[in-house]
Amino acid sequence: MPVPIADYVGLSAVMFFLGVAGVVVRRNPLVMLMSIELMFNAANLLFIAYARSWVANAGQVFAFLVITVAAAEAAIGLAIVVTTFRSERHVDVDDIRLLRG
């Protein structure tokens, strides 16, 4: 039984807005990074769904590109977060202003 494209769009919209809420509401940089990954994956879901619906491979190519960018973003972002907050017990993105020399 094929799944209609509207279901993919709805699921992707829910995932994207959960990611936006995670970035806006939460102050923990790790949660913010995971929320950004959730937004990337929502876009990937739409790329794959439309590629399947339109029988075109361009959406899959774009999804692969987004996965590559997301992996680089996660690696670099996690390195920055770990370096910045290594000695802190509690991490908060508002505390970054306090770390200026």
Q: What confidence tens digit (pLDDT) does each residue in 80-91 have?
A: 888 888 877 777
Entry pTM? 0.82
- What is each CA distance from 71 to 2, 16, 54, 65, in whole angstroms? 30, 18, 27, 10
Residue 29's H or E segment, with its range, is helix 29-54
Residue 17 pLDDT grade (very low, low, confident, very high; cuts 50, 70, 90): very high
Q: Cα separation of 2 and 44, whole Å?
A: 19
Structure tokens at 1: 């039984």
Top mean-pLDDT range of 8-12, 58-62, 95-99 = 8-12
pLDDT value at residue 99 = 60
Token look-up 């910045």 returns 84
